[in-house]
């Protein structure tokens, strides 16, 4: 059974958004904002998963992809040019790990309001987020994150995600790459629905084949914008 429809916690969301605009690297604030302002988005996501063949299998089996993504030796043994290697290159270049995301989530979101099915949907989306980065080609810089959020928004509307994107654009975090961020939304509309993908079976496949299969289009070419640069320019 689904939880009662959630309420927006606007004051909490406002505090989280203000903190995030001061420091876009403050990942726990992202989870706090999502917890506060997602509304019915998780419910709609869960319902669509249950209505699809692959999504219903994922919800039945509830695989945990974190151990697979944390095994860097196994990822390194995958073929050159595979999605798994692209993912490994991404997390190593960005200095991140699945455990780091888990720790930030534990600090930033409550999660007690969700039933087990909704909790799993949240975990699956969280744990595959960096796979989406590897598949779409967006880097972990500010533009890349906002672009992937725009892509995600197109796949499943979420008020919290929309707030982050709009606030980031208004504050000028995308600088001259706003078209890349807006293009992320268009890519999300045109692509296959990523939440239902069996990512575990895609890791060993050539990343170009995965991109073609998922209708992701060409990897965008843009100039990454890092928070250290935004701070030096006084934007943060």
- pLDDT for 27 equals 85
The ranges assigned to domains in the chain are 19-232
Burial (CB count <10 Å: 0-12, 13-18, 19+), residue 130: buried
The residues, any chain, with a CB within 8 Å of residue 34's CB and separated by 6 or more, are 109, 158, 160, 161
**pLDDT at residue 1, as a whole number:** 41
User: What is the rounded CA–CA span in Å between residue 92 and residue 95?
Assistant: 5
Predicted local distance difference test score (pLDDT) of residue 175: 85
Give the per-residue pLDDT at 66.
Answer: 95
Q: What is the pLDDT of residue 236?
A: 86
pLDDT attached to residue 70: 95
Query: Which residue, 81, 74, 64, 45, is CA-closest to 196?
Result: 45
Q: Taking the complete model, does pTM exceed 0.75, yes or no?
A: yes
Tens digit of each residue's pLDDT, the chain (236 residues): 445 556 789 999 999 999 999 999 888 899 899 989 999 999 999 999 999 999 999 999 999 999 999 999 999 999 999 999 999 999 999 999 877 677 766 655 555 556 899 999 999 999 999 999 999 999 999 999 999 999 999 999 999 999 999 999 999 998 889 999 999 999 999 999 999 999 999 999 999 999 999 999 999 999 999 999 999 989 88
Q: How far apart are CA 216 and CA 152, in angstroms?
A: 12
pLDDT at 2: 44
Q: Give the C-alpha separation, 175 to 59, whole Å.
A: 40
Convert the pLDDT of each residue in 126-155 to its tens digit: 999 999 999 999 999 999 999 999 999 999
> 205: which DSSP letter?
S
The pair phi, psi for residue 82, each rounded to 5°, is -80, 165
pLDDT of residue 54: 97
Q: How far apart are CA 107 and CA 102, in angstroms?
A: 9
Q: Rounded to whole angstroms, how far apart are CA atoms 195 and 58?
A: 10
Closest listed residue to residue 34, CA positions, set 152, 196, 193: 152
């Amino acid at each position: 059974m689904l939880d009662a429809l959630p309420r927006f916690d606007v004051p909490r969301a406002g505090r989280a958004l203000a903190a995030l605009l001061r420091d876009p690297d403050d990942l726990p604030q992202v989870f706090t904002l999502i917890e506060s302002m997602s509304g019915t988005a998780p419910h709609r996501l869960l319902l669509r998963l249950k209505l699809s063949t692959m999504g219903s299998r994922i919800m039945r089996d509830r695989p945990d992809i974190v151990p697979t993504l944390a095994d860097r030796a196994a990822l390194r043994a995958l073929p050159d040019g595979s999605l798994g290697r692209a993912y490994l290159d991404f997390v190593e270049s960005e200095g991140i790990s699945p455990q780091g995301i888990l720790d930030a989530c534990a600090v930033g979101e409550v999660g007690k309001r969700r039933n087990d099915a909704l909790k799993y949907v949240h975990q699956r989306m969280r744990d595959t987020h960096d796979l989406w980065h590897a598949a779409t080609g967006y880097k972990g810089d500010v533009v890349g994150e906002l672009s992937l959020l725009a892509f995600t928004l197109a796949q499943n509307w979420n008020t919290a995600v929309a707030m982050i994107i709009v606030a980031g654009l208004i504050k000028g975090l995308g600088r001259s790459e706003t078209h890349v961020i807006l293009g992320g939304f268009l890519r999300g509309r045109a692509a296959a629905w990523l939440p239902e993908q069996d990512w575990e079976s895609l890791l060993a496949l050539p990343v170009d084949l995965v991109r073609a299969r998922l209708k992701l289009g060409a990897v965008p070419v843009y100039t990454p914008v890092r928070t250290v640069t935004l701070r030096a320019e006084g934007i943060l």
